[in-house]
Amino acid sequence: MSPKPRKRFGQHFLTDRHYLSRIVSAIDPRLEDAMVEIGPGPGALTTELAKRVERLHLIEIDRDLAAVLRERYASTQVVVHEGDVLEFDFSALPSPLRVVGNLPYNISTPILFRVAEMAERVQDAVFMLQKEVVDRMVADPDTEAYGRLSVMLQYRFAMESVLEVPPGAFTPPPKVDSAVVHMRPLPGGRLRAKDESLFPRVVAAAFSQRRKTLRNALKPLGVTGFENAGIDLGRRGETLSVAEFVALADAV
């Protein structure tokens, strides 16, 4: 009997073979890849990946699904880690790591930030998410979709939306369209903020109330010197590029 999707885990299982094949092509798995799949569900993508890589790691929070996966695949080839991906110790896996998966829509943003934290250990990531989230991830400055998620991910990754997937490709069908995004860590010489702890605070403050000017939005941080960045503080945060946010944080 096939496992049933659980609403509390935000599960929507990909069941359309055509789109499954296209996602595998986007991932382009190689035999030697160190690969981890987040939220494998009943294993539709897992089966295709396991044919192509020497060893595959899975992270599955659903105990019943984890048991099914352990029975289905040889433990020498597919290693099932039962638990919450937000608490998982990725340092226990080999690197550089390829991270893939159909992310649960209800916790996709925290997972993306978790992957961003370990960007230096990641070769790339290919995720299927709600299309609206992917649109935000790849958005350009001064567009409606551009926000905190756009800046924080583009600070570390080059991103490309590679495929759109309709609701009918899933069981049960979600109420939204989905999309596949390919995230590649930027090279070691990428632009970095001088203070890696201040930078995300500046970005979060700038987008806390989108209609506020930078001058007003940044006041709650309780720091001064932003005018030294040479950026008009009468602008709104949504108009700034990633490089301008770095300059803003570095000016303090």
d(CA 250, CA 203): 12
Residue 191 belongs to some domain of the structure: no
Residue 88 belongs to some domain of the structure: yes
Structure tokens at 110: 């925290």
The domain total for the chain is 2
pLDDT at 210: 84
**Is residue 180 domain-shared with residue 202, that is, in the same domain?**
no
CATH number of the structural domain spanning residue 141: 3.40.50.150
Q: What is the pLDDT of residues 148-166, one digit of tens each?
A: 999 999 999 999 999 999 9
Last residue of a domain, one of 140, 160, 185: 185
Cβ contact 179:161 at 8 Å = yes
Cβ contact 198:249 at 8 Å = yes
**Is residue 181 domain-shared with residue 236, that is, in the same domain?**
no
Where in the sequence is the domain holding 121, given as residue range(s)? 7-185
pLDDT at 105: 82
Last residue of a domain, one of 138, 159, 185: 185
pLDDT at 13: 85
Q: Which residues of the chain have a pLDDT value below 50?
A: 1, 5-10
Q: ∠ CA(190), CA(199), CA(140), 5° rounding? A: 65
Radius of gyration of the chain measured on its C-alpha atoms:
20
213: helix, coil or strand?
Answer: strand
**Is residue 100 domain-shared with residue 73, that is, in the same domain?**
yes
pLDDT at 106: 84
**Is residue 76 domain-shared with residue 49, that is, in the same domain?**
yes
CATH number of the structural domain spanning residue 219: 1.10.8.100
Amino acid at 145: A
Last residue of a domain, one of 163, 185, 207: 185
Residues 6+ apart with CB under 8 A from 144: none
104: helix, coil or strand?
Answer: coil
**Is residue 151 domain-shared with residue 206, that is, in the same domain?**
no
Burial class (CB in 10 A: 0-12, 13-18, 19+), 87: exposed
Amino acid at 111: I
**Is residue 119 domain-shared with residue 223, that is, in the same domain?**
no
Q: ∠ CA(129), CA(162), CA(124), 5° rounding? A: 75
